[in-house]
Structure 1
Amino acid sequence: MHALLNFKQGVTDTSGVLSSWSTERDCCEWKGVMCSNITSRVTGITLPCSATLQSYEDKMDRSHCLTGSIHLSLLLVELELLDYLDLTNNDFLELQFDYLHNHTCHNLSMATSSRQCVNSSTLRHLDLSHNWNLVINTLKWLPYISSLEYLNLRRIDLSKETNWLQSVTMLPSLSHLNMRDCELKDLSLSLQYANFTKLQFLSLSANEFNSELPKWLFNLSSGIYDLYLSSSSLKGYLPKALLNLHELKDLALDDNNFDGPIPDWLGEFEHLETLCLGDNMFSGSIPTNLGNLSSLITLDVSSNPLTGVVSERNLAKLSKLKNLEISSCSTLIFDFDSHWIPPFQLEELTLGFSNPNLPAWLYTQRSIQFLTIWDSSFKASNKFWNFISRVTEIELQGNLIDGNISNVLLNSTIIYLSSNCLKGGLPILSSNVIYVSLSNNSLSGDMSPLLCGHNVSNEKNNLLFLDISLNNLSGGLTNCWNNWKSLVAVHLGTNNLSGKIPSSMGLLSNLKSLHLHENKLHGEIPHSLKNCHSLLVFNVRNNDLSGNIPDWISKSVMALQLRSNNFIGKIPPQICQMSSLLILDIAYNAIYGHIPSCLGNIKTLVFNNASVNKFRFYSPSFDEDSYLFNDDNLELVTKGQVLEYDKNLHFMTLIDMSSNNLSGAIPFQMFSLIGLLSLNLSNNKLAGKIPNEIGNMKNLESLDFSTNQLGGEIPQSLSSLSFLGYLNLSFNNLTGKIPSGTQLLGFSTLSYIGNRDLCGSPLTKMCFQDDKHKGKELVDEDGNQSKFLTWFYIGLESGFVTGFLGVCCAIFLNRNMRHVCFKLLYNLRDQLYIMVNVNMNPFH
């Protein structure tokens, strides 16, 4: 009890997970504590967090999980019989291992807090996986837990541990090792043997090894059953020494850079159930020997530059096959007998081929749940559409499908049908559909059949994601949105849709992403959209919408894109209350008035803290985490060009108010937005000086103030923006010399032209007046004016006056000198008189 309470002290427990850990109850009754029925001693602690994605939220919620420190040595020593420890999927930040042993002690140099050493324990099972924020700098403590049989460190940062293999091989009883996605980089290629005498499971996938397979891997005990090395930047030919691991059941080498032919000796693995070779650089044909793997359940040879013919000979003996992936950039030829009936019933199938027709045996498969066909050309008959209606998830992308889907009923839960050249009108959706993407096809007609069909109102719809962008749809947006209240994302951009935005869209209270860009919509944005409290992305660029910018848009909005419309009026101050705003794009409208100074209060732009989850939406699927990830996308103008942002959208922060009628000065408060990457205020009527506070925007990469009425000098602080890659200050009334500094001098004259009184490099106009003025003063190395040159000129002038007065006094006080001086002056007068008369005679 004492040890457990000490462990609790190092843990931050905001949601009361450990609320039952109190002295008022027997510790064997505490949540997550397991005790022996015989000795009543603590034998296990299991406190995994159920940090799954909650209700399609835009980020993973771990606020209810445990955080703080894992005081591992305290648990292992005080709980002498601890056998099982599971802290999976929490949010722990540090690992402590610092118990002092009575005998020899060693400095373990742990992640954030460690001092000495610990004796061996009885722990057999240790699972710290999915603590994403946990960083462990060293694994030197592992040998002190010599009893370990199961070790799972998946998704823990071990990037600073270069000798991980040496520490792990000192666990003589280890049978299960999972170090997937741990940012490991060293595979110890020089090592011949690794002391894994009992290892049965090894996963090193999703690391960055960038090397060939190490020799020690082939010398593992023949008892290893599962070997996972996917997505680890491995390369080279597959060595035949892999056959040393003759007991292998699972071999996953997909998503690497292996090349050469697929070895035919792979067919000698008698017990192999999983063979994943997809997403590599394997060439040549698929060896028929793979058909000898009679125990095979999963075969993946997709996304390789394979050639040749695939026939029933490659698959005839694979009676246990459930998952099959064969595809190769339209270079594989399928030559199956049209009457062949496979000995298997597949659950997952991925195909990519160059034949004009689908293989006939496809229609014999009655158990397929996931069907993927890509980069192929075939005719889709009614038989095909009826077949896929029984499939749970279909993904047909990048194909040339000859078929009209006007009256097709789509019944699958997840449907990807983008980029297939599909024709006709929109299909019909059943109530089973949760996700549908029909983007980038040649679909035409209006939206009524899909949204307002007779079957829609009679059934409860569960659709979360609808994408029919990049088609030729016409007509209005319909007014049937009350039937689709479950929608989270609606993408209707780049069509020929017209009319007004219907007020019924305000009934989509769960809506997070709404894209209506590049259509012919007109009128004002309906006030009913204020009911979309969860809206994060609102994109209506390139339409004919009018009226004022709504002041009721959700405060949670992260991206607001209204560019290229007919909006008028002033910028509403309510925008300043959008504390999550990352992208504000209101360019190319008729907005007037001053820029609100309160824009400097937008919290997310004050701090530069981009998150990987910010523009991501979740919906149910059947992948590893049981959720489908959807990254939003936007087309933005920055650095003088149009760029598409999708998976990297969360890294972008932008304010674009260009091409409006904004006037007045640029508020200095705006330059407190130090997280901003792109700022465009060009083509307005802004006046006044550029505030010196612009130097605060240290992360700025793109700045455009061109075609305004800005005056005064360019502030010296602008030259301190070291990340600035694009600058346009042209066509203003700026004056003086362009500030010195490598950053500003690196831009071309196009960044400064159109400012008549601006001078200095890179312009050809020299700063003469500026040089004359500065000839009277000196500037030191820090840019401060020096008084040395000023006093030098004062002394020079004083010396001249004193010398002149001295000569005059000498002449007037000395008689002889006075006579000589006057005689000289008289002679000079006579010579000048004669010279003038002689030169004037020729004109008489």
Structure 2
Amino acid sequence: MNAFSSQNAAILAWLLCTLMLNTGTCNNFTIGCNQKDKLGLLNFKQRVIDLSRVLSSWNPDQDCCQWRGVNCDHITGRVTGLNLPCSTTLANYIDKEDKSHCLSGPNLPEWLYTQRYLKRLSILNSSFVAKSKFWNFVSRVSELDLEGNLMFGNLSNNVLLNSSFVNLSSNDLKGSLPRLSSNVAIFEASNNSLSGTISPLLCDHKMLNGKGSLIYLDISRNHLSGELTNCWKNWKSLIHVNLGSNSLTGKIPSSMGSLFSLASLHLHENNLYGTIPTSLQNCHSLLLFNVRENNLSGNIPHWIPHDARVLQLRSNNFSGNIPTQICQISSLIILDIADNIISGQIPTCLHNITSLVFNNASESSLYFSFALSNSITYVFEDGLELVTKGRVSEYRNNLHFMTLIDMSSNNLFGTVPSQMFSLVGLCSLNLSHNKLMGKIPYEIGNMRSLESLDLSANQFWGEIPQGLANLFFLGVLNLSFNNFSGKIPSGTQLQGFDAVSYIGNPDLCGLPLPKICWQDGEHKDSKPIDEDEDKYEFLSWFYIGIESGFVTGFLGVFCALSFNRKWRHAYFRFLYNMRDRLYVMVLIKMNSSG
């Protein structure tokens, strides 16, 4: 009986220690690393090239659970996670990643494929070949993060991924898209060389059985083709979808309207055509809608949710007027409808977009957090390419700080409503290449946050308002090819821009233009004079002076001789005497030479 009680007491003590391991109590009872796993990890270290010493802490004399990047189960001591990052930051700050010093294979150790307790595998910025058995192995891993490797290999629709988190982006993967099980919540495979259609990824009805749990999908920047699948009803849990920078064709399917939780949709840089389906108005949570650089047509949708942050429709064939419903999107920070055939006038209600009036765009964050079943939360920051300051820039972590209105290259006409100049939180305004006219009011100086302003190739007239000189953050200005007149206002910013910012305005004068403004308001061409031109001007005036002096002297002598007889007779006697002297001198010279 005593033996039985002692045995129960020992079991109870062991259970208590097991429950208290996470609090640091009963440290003496902590189970060390499994010896098979330790030997396997040491074999791993020997078979890879580790120039950056990522595995330098893997000392055989220490417990492998204490090694850098190794996670173990507290009860069994088996290795459950490998996290092997590698920094690619260069000391000389060259804008290029250098992965030559990170882990490289070419093949992963065989030990890795035998692990059945491994739940998380993270290898970043390294190089190895992914063989077919690699995909069989990773199907058993709950979290797979292989971003930014030089990972060579082929995917196919025979590969089934089962991990809740899969990140294969920025590698050199080829082949077709794999299949996804209902366990996958996050799948990212952007910036690879995958080809084929997207149907194998999303339309495996037998595998899903209507229970897809996918939240985040990013397969952008690949070589995918074909039409958008009509299988979106299987993925109603999707929050983020990015299919941009591929070669997808066809129309946007109406079944995408079943993505009721969708917050971010990127379909940019494809060959999509047709109109935007009205079923997308069911996506009430949509914050970012990006369909730039396609062949879409029709009117700008008027059903964009009131909480939307970004609307990017540039470089399509959208027509019609700008709907006034856009003014009801009070949280909008990016309105990009450039390079379409939109006509009509600019709405007078833009001041209702309060995020552009009160300069609170930074509060409109564009990040998404996803809590998976393992109680780990993943945070993703959304990004976007924008044309601002005359170049294409990618905004990611700082997107929510950017505010932009771009209506350039359309058929807009009329005057710019005065309400637009109350958008004091706007960073970039581009209205170029339209048919806008009228004067620019002084109130434009209230837009103190402006960093880029382009009003070129319109029909604006009148003087440039002095208020522009108050825009101290203005880095890019283009007022060329309008009908501005008068003097360019004095100001540090305005005088510092190149003359190309003002060319094409014949009646405009003042620095930095070569036209000089006079006090009477007229201007005169002033051209730089080089040394040759300066010398020519001096000689011209010199000869003019000689000729003037000769004429003046000749007239003076002629008048004196004409009115005084004695002077006239004396003058002619002098000439006759000089003639005789010259004659005698010539004869003497000729005789002496003979």
Bucket of the pairwise TM-score, normalised by the shorter protein: 0.7 to 0.9
Change (3 A) 1:761 1:376: same
Q: Report the Cα distance in structure 2 between the residues aligned to 1:285 and 1:443, rounded to whole angstroms.
A: 30
Pairing partner for 2:510 from 760, 766, 781: 760
Shift of 1:653: 0.4
- Does 1:501 find its partner at 2:252? yes
Shift of 1:400: 2.5
- Which residues in structure 2 correspond to 1:179-218 (within 5 Å)? none
Cα offsets for 1:340-386 (capped at 9, x unmatched): xxxxxxxxxxx952221001111232221211123333332332111
In structure 1, the residue matched to 2:304 is: 553
- Does 1:442 find its partner at 2:193? yes
In structure 1, the residue matched to 2:162 is: 411
Change (3 A) 1:285 1:384: closer
Change (3 A) 1:701 1:772: closer
- Which residues in structure 2 correspond to 1:667-816 (within 5 Å)? 667-768=417-518, 770=520
Cα offsets for 1:169-217 (capped at 9, x unmatched): xxxxxxxxxxxxxxxxxxxxxxxxxxxxxxx99xxxxxxxxxxxxxxxx
Pairing partner for 1:652 from 377, 402, 411: 402
Pairing partner for 2:277 from 516, 519, 526: 526
Change (3 A) 1:381 1:540: same
In structure 2, the residue matched to 1:293 is: 62
Change (3 A) 1:522 1:692: same
- Does 1:597 find its partner at 2:348? yes
Q: Report the Cα distance in structure 1 between the residues aligned to 2:58 and 2:216, rounded to whole angstroms.
A: 43
Identity of aligned residues (%): 59
Change (3 A) 1:418 1:770: farther
Q: Report the Cα distance in structure 2 between the residues aligned to 1:631 and 1:423, rounded to whole angstroms.
A: 27
Q: Report the Cα distance in structure 2 between the residues aligned to 1:354 and 1:289, rounded to whole angstroms.
A: 17
Aligned residues of 1:424 and 1:442 also touching (Cα < 8 A): yes
Q: Report the Cα distance in structure 2 between the residues aligned to 1:536 and 1:283, rounded to whole angstroms.
A: 41
The one-letter code of the counterpart of 1:583 is I
Pairing partner for 2:332 from 561, 581, 599: 581
Q: Report the Cα distance in structure 2 between the residues aligned to 1:480 and 1:444, rounded to whole angstroms.
A: 19
Q: Report the Cα distance in structure 1 between the residues aligned to 2:138 and 2:472, rounded to whole angstroms.
A: 55
Q: Report the Cα distance in structure 2 between the residues aligned to 1:427 and 1:610, rounded to whole angstroms.
A: 39
In structure 1, the residue matched to 2:124 is: 374
In structure 2, the residue matched to 1:610 is: 361
The one-letter code of the counterpart of 2:59 is L
- Does 1:665 find its partner at 2:415? yes
Cα offsets for 1:54-113 (capped at 9, x unmatched): xxxxxxxxxxxxxxxxxxxxxxxxxxxxxxxxxxxxxxxxxxxxxxxxxxxxxxxxxxxx
Change (3 A) 1:736 1:407: same
Q: Report the Cα distance in structure 2 between the residues aligned to 1:579 and 1:540, rounded to whole angstroms.
A: 21
Shift of 1:483: 1.2
The one-letter code of the counterpart of 2:121 is L
- Which residues in structure 2 correspond to 1:416-495 (within 5 Å)? 416-455=167-206, 458-495=209-246
In structure 2, the residue matched to 1:637 is: 387
SS at match of 1:766: strand
In structure 2, the residue matched to 1:34 is: none
Cα offsets for 1:545-601 (capped at 9, x unmatched): 011111112121110000000011110100000011000000000011111110111
Shift of 1:401: 1.9
SS at match of 2:60: helix
Could you list the runs of 5+ residues in structure 1 that have no partner in the other structure? 1-199, 202-246, 250-281, 302-317, 331-350, 774-830, 840-844
Shift of 1:629: 0.7
Aligned residues of 2:81 and 2:119 also touching (Cα < 8 A): no
The worse-fitting range, judged by mean Cα deviation, of 763-772 and 673-682 is 763-772
Cα offsets for 1:294-333 (capped at 9, x unmatched): 37435249xxxxxxxxxxxxxxxx9776655445579xxx
Higher relative contact order structure (alpha carbons within 8 Å, sequence separation ≥ 6) = 2
In structure 1, the residue matched to 2:6 is: none
In structure 1, the residue matched to 2:531 is: none
The one-letter code of the counterpart of 1:709 is Q
How many aligned residue pairs are there? 469
In structure 1, the residue matched to 2:378 is: 628
In structure 1, the residue matched to 2:37 is: none
Q: CA RMSD in A?
A: 3.1
In structure 2, the residue matched to 1:357 is: 107
SS at match of 2:361: coil
Aligned residues of 1:295 and 1:320 also touching (Cα < 8 A): no
Aligned residues of 2:309 and 2:364 also touching (Cα < 8 A): no
Shift of 1:454: 3.3
In structure 2, the residue matched to 1:394 is: 144
Q: Report the Cα distance in structure 2 between the residues aligned to 1:741 and 1:654, rounded to whole angstroms.
A: 25
SS at match of 2:494: helix
The one-letter code of the counterpart of 1:631 is E
SS at match of 2:175: coil
The worse-fitting range, judged by mean Cα deviation, of 403-412 and 634-643 is 403-412
Cα offsets for 1:215-237 (capped at 9, x unmatched): xxxxxxxxxxxxxxxxxxxxxxx
The one-letter code of the counterpart of 2:434 is N
SS at match of 1:611: helix
The one-letter code of the counterpart of 1:572 is P
The one-letter code of the counterpart of 2:60 is G
Aligned residues of 1:298 and 1:321 also touching (Cα < 8 A): no
Could you list the runs of 5+ residues in structure 2 that have no partner in the other structure? 1-22, 31-50, 71-75, 89-100, 524-554, 564-594
Shift of 1:457: 5.7
Cα offsets for 1:767-800 (capped at 9, x unmatched): 1254579xxxxxxxxxxxxxxxxxxxxxxxxxxx
TM-score (norm 1): 0.52
Q: Report the Cα distance in structure 1 between the residues aligned to 2:561 and 2:202, rounded to whole angstroms.
A: 110
SS at match of 2:59: helix
Aligned residues of 2:381 and 2:396 also touching (Cα < 8 A): yes
Aligned residues of 1:294 and 1:319 also touching (Cα < 8 A): no
SS at match of 1:455: helix
The one-letter code of the counterpart of 1:441 is N
User: Rg bigger for which structure?
Assistant: 2
SS at match of 1:517: coil
Change (3 A) 1:414 1:837: farther
TM-score (norm 2): 0.74
Shift of 1:495: 0.6
Cα offsets for 1:686-734 (capped at 9, x unmatched): 1000121101111111110011000000000110011111111111100
SS at match of 1:564: coil
Change (3 A) 1:621 1:597: same
Aligned residues of 2:130 and 2:151 also touching (Cα < 8 A): no
Aligned residues of 1:401 and 1:422 also touching (Cα < 8 A): yes
The one-letter code of the counterpart of 1:603 is T
Aligned residues of 1:456 and 1:483 also touching (Cα < 8 A): no
SS at match of 2:146: strand
In structure 1, the residue matched to 2:36 is: none
Q: Report the Cα distance in structure 2 between the residues aligned to 1:568 and 1:592, rounded to whole angstroms.
A: 7
Aligned residues of 2:182 and 2:208 also touching (Cα < 8 A): no
Shift of 1:406: 2.9
Aligned residues of 2:343 and 2:411 also touching (Cα < 8 A): yes
Cα offsets for 1:415-471 (capped at 9, x unmatched): 101112111111100000111011111111111111222325623111111111111
SS at match of 1:442: coil
SS at match of 1:423: strand
SS at match of 1:475: strand
The one-letter code of the counterpart of 2:431 is L
Shift of 1:634: 0.6
